């Protein structure tokens, strides 16, 4: 049995959210130096989502900006942050029989004690309470998620607020809070480290117990059980991707229902979620526990890409440059293995790696698995080249950023068929080798969760990575790893 982390206390320390509110208040004071006390940020909790038209709901997932500021799991609440740093929660008035079906009715006192908010009132008191605090302008979230294109949840200001002459503004909060969420505090880093560790342990259990003859769903089930039972993670951060064989070439393969066949690679992308904070980890390994030389070629290529980036990331480094470093490294290996033909500079110039790694190097990670802040107005725009246009951010890294590093190499039939049919790319592809050896290989992705520090990075991911570590773990040897700290010099 692997050495399990003890569950962190439920709920998380109230100081996490108090600190986050105070940081937002400090930005508010800078943004509105003449009259900051007239402004308050207003955030809204998520709503329950019913299953079809029934009175059953999906497991509730709190809206991330609200969760970030208040750490409260309740639907339909609202929260205001004043420029003084005061945090005021407004809870819905629930019908009496809520207590019969769902548990004790929340009251201002109980929610105040639970969250450490400065004050708690009912939603229908919002206009009067904020007016009495001298607030005139409610700053609400208005923005668009740069991965999904969906609008973020804008607080519905109660009509009474407008009726009494209060105003609403949407120009400031989205940028301010999204920027702030990119810079993790030490307290947040502790939680992220915890959820990454709990998820790593669950991955190791899957790796240890994986055998040919199982079904992909059993790999998923093993992960979910360990992440929840031992790690306290009731939710995962995204649908588990349990691909084996050719399914590994489908980036977000969702079915997880095929047999696990001897001789295949597994690509398992799974991450637990702890009070909203996400892990996002991918392990790739041979399902029978022993790499073939053919599997090793691709695995070593991706591992070197992953490791080179880990040894290069630090504040001041461009994420686009890190992406190029990764795909160039994989490209060099593919040339050496005679999968690709030509010199690496030509292949990079012709953007050939778009067919082998059709996704970005990684993304910001936090309360959302593809976290906010990737393409804010004052950040570099999305690159247009075909081998890096899928990047979820093009930012220059900074201390406190938390990112995934997840290079991959895939043999995706749709992409390869397209490349092989186009003479400008086909002349660089060894079609015989690709079709003869790798057509049904699937893919390899190696994904770690990494905190950017003052002079490098800390990798929170604690899973077997080298061929030797994976083979030993799958042969039954105990596995133990501590977080690795990288001090990286400017390249
Ligand atoms: N699990 C989704 C991703 O790696 O981005
Ligand atoms: Mn990821
Ligand atoms: Mn992932």
- What is the Cα–Cα distance from 245 to 406, expressed in whole angstroms? 19
| Whole-angstrom distance, CA of residue 233 vs CA of residue 19 | 24
Cα 224 to ligand 1 centroid, rounded to whole Å? 17
Ligand 1 atom closest to Cα of 271? 1
What is the C-alpha to C-alpha distance for residues 234 and 73, in angstroms, rounded to an integer? 13
Residue 202 CA to residue 110 CA, distance in Å, equals 35
**CA–CA gap between residue 188 and residue 175 (Å, rounded):** 20
Burial class (CB in 10 A: 0-12, 13-18, 19+), 342: middle
**Ligand 1 proximity of 238 Cβ (cutoff 6 Å):** yes
What are the DSSP calls for 243-287, one per residue?
A: EEGGGGGSTT-----SB--TT-EEEEEE-EEETTEE--EEEEEET
* pLDDT, tens only, 168-184: 999 999 999 999 999 99
Name residues of the chain where pLDDT drops below 50: 1-2
Distance, first Cα to last Cα, the chain: 41
From the CB of 239, is ligand 1 less than 6 Å away? no
Ligand positioned closest to the Cα atom of 236: 1
DSSP for 162-183 reads HHTT-EEE-SSHHHHHHHHHHS
Residues 343, 366: Cα–Cα separation, whole Å: 39
Class of domain 186-487: alpha beta
Using CA atoms, how far apart are residues 472 and 478, in angstroms rounded to an integer? Answer: 8
Check residue 56 and give left, alpha or beta (phi > 0: left; psi -120 to 50: alpha). Answer: beta
Cα–Cα distance for residue pair 257/221, rounded to 1 Å = 11
Q: How far is the CA of 451 from the centre of ligand 1 (A)?
A: 17
Check if 14-182 and 186-487 are the same fold: no
Ligand 1 contact via 205 beta carbon (within 6 Å): no
Q: How far is the CA of 44 from the centre of ligand 3 (A)?
A: 28
Testing ligand 1's pocket by substitution, the residue of 146, 220, 248, 406 carrying the most ligand atoms inside 8 A of its CB is 406
- In degrees and rounded to multiples of 5, residue 364 shows phi and psi of -65, 150
CA angle 11/13/16 to nearest 5° reads: 120
Find out whether 361 and 405 touch, Cβ atoms under 8 Å: yes
448-452: strand order across its sheet:
402-405, 448-452, 456-459, 484-487
C-alpha distances in Å from residue 208, one per residue of 132, 406, 469, 470: 60, 22, 12, 9
Task: Check pocket membership of 269 for ligand 1, CB cut-off 6 A.
Answer: yes
Spatial separation of the C-alpha atoms in residues 352 and 357, rounded to whole Å:
9
Distance 87 CA to ligand 2 centre (A): 32
Pocket flag, ligand 1, residue 188 (CB < 6 Å): no
Q: Is 280 in the pocket of ligand 1 (CB under 6 A)?
A: yes
pLDDT 10s digits, 340-360: 999 999 999 999 999 999 999
**In angstroms, rounded to a whole number, what is the distance separating the alpha carbons of residues 362 and 11?**
29
Cβ distance 228 to 271 under 8 Å? no
- Mean residue pLDDT across the chain: 97
For the chain, the structural domain boundaries read: 14-182, 186-487
Quick one: which ligand is closest to 284's CA? 3
Please check whether residue 443 is in contact with residue 411, taking contact to mean a CB–CB distance below 8 angstroms: yes
Our answer on whether the CB atom of 368 is closer than 6 Å to any ligand 1 atom is no
Ligand 1: which residue has its CA nearest to atom 4? 280
Residue pair 120/91 in contact by the 8 Å Cβ criterion? yes
390 alpha carbon – ligand 1 mean position (Å): 13
Q: Which residues surround ligand 3, an ion (CB under 5 A)?
A: 269, 280, 447
At residue 389, what are phi and psi to the nearest 5 degrees?
-75, -10
Regarding the beta carbon of 406 and ligand 1, being less than 6 Å apart is answered yes
Burial annotation 400-416 (CB, 10 A radius, 16+ → b, else e): bbbbbbbbbbbbbeeeb
98 lines ligand 1 (CB under 6 A): no
Does the bond joining 247 to the residue before it have cis omega, within 30 degrees of 0?
Answer: no
Rounded Cα distance, 397 and 314, in Å = 7
Q: What is the pLDDT of residue 1?
A: 41
Q: Which atom of ligand 1 is nearest to the CA of 406?
A: 4
CB 196 within 8 A of CB 461: yes
CATH class of 14-182: alpha beta
């Amino acid at each position: 049995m692997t050495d399990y982390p003890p569950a962190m206390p439920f709920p998380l320390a109230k100081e996490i959210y108090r600190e986050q509110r105070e940081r937002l208040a400090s930005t508010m004071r800078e943004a509105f130096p003449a009259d900051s006390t007239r402004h308050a940020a207003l955030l809204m909790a998520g709503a329950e989502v019913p299953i079809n038209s029934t009175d059953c709901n999906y497991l509730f997932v709190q809206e991330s900006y609200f969760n970030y500021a208040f750490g409260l799991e309740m639907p339909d609440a609202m929260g205001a942050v004043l420029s003084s740093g005061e945090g005021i929660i407004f809870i819905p008035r629930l019908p009496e029989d809520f207590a019969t079906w769902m548990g004790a009715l929340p009251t201002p006192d109980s929610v105040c004690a639970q969250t450490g908010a400065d004050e708690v009132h009912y939603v229908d008191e919002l206009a009067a309470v904020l007016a009495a605090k001298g607030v005139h302008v409610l700053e609400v979230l208005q923005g668009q998620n740069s991965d999904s294109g969906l609008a973020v949840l804008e607080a519905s200001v109660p009509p009474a607020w407008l009726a009494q002459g209060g105003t609403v503004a949407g120009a400031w909060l989205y940028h301010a809070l999204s920027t702030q969420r990119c810079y993790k505090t030490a307290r947040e880093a502790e939680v992220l480290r915890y959820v990454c560790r709990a998820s790593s342990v669950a991955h190791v259990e899957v790796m240890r117990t994986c055998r040919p003859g199982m079904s992909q769903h059993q790999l998923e089930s093993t992960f979910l059980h360990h992440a929840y039972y031992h790690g306290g993670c009731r939710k995962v951060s995204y649908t588990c991707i349990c691909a084996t064989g050719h399914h590994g070439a489908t980036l977000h393969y969702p079915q997880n229902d095929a047999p696990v066949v001897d001789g295949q690679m597994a690509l398992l992308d799974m991450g637990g979620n702890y009070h909203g904070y996400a892990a996002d980890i991918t392990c790739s390994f041979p399902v029978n526990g022993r790499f073939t030389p053919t599997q090793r070629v691709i695995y070593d290529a991706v591992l070197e890409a992953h490791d080179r980036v880990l040894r290069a990331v630090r504040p001041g480094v461009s994420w686009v440059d890190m992406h190029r470093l990764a795909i160039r490294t994989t490209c060099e290996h593919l040339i050496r293995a005679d999968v690709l033909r030509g010199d690496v500079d030509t292949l990079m110039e012709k953007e050939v790696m778009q067919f082998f790694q059709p996704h970005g190097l990684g993304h910001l990670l936090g309360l959302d698995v593809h976290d906010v802040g990737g393409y804010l107005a004052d950040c570099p725009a999305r690159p247009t080249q075909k081998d890096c246009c899928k990047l979820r951010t093009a930012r220059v890294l900074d201390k406190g950023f938390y990112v995934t590093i997840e290079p991959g190499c895939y043999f995706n039939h749709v992409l390869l068929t397209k490349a092989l049919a186009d003479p400008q790319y086909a002349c660089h592809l060894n079609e015989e080798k690709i079709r003869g050896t790798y057509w049904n290989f699937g893919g390899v992705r190696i994904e770690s969760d990494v905190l950017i520090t003052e002079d490098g990075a800390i990798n929170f991911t604690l899973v077997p990575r080298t061929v030797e570590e994976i083979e030993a773990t799958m042969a039954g040897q105990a596995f133990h790893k501590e977080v690795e700290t990288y001090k990286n010099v400017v390249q």
